[in-house]
Amino acid sequence: EVLVVGSAGVVVGLAVGALVAGALLEVLAGLFDPPAQFPAVPMAALAGLVGAVCLGLLAAVGIADRALRRLAVLSALRER
Rounded to whole angstroms, the Cα distance separating 29 from 23 reads 10
Asked if residues 54 and 6 have their Cβ atoms less than 8 Å apart, the reply is: yes
Asked if residues 42 and 56 have their Cβ atoms less than 8 Å apart, the reply is: no
Answer whether residue 19 shows pLDDT above 80.
yes
Residues 6+ apart with CB under 8 A from 72: none
Alpha carbon 7 to its chain's center: 7
pLDDT: which is higher, 35 or 79: 35
Rounded to whole angstroms, the Cα distance separating 3 from 6 reads 5
pTM over 0.85: no
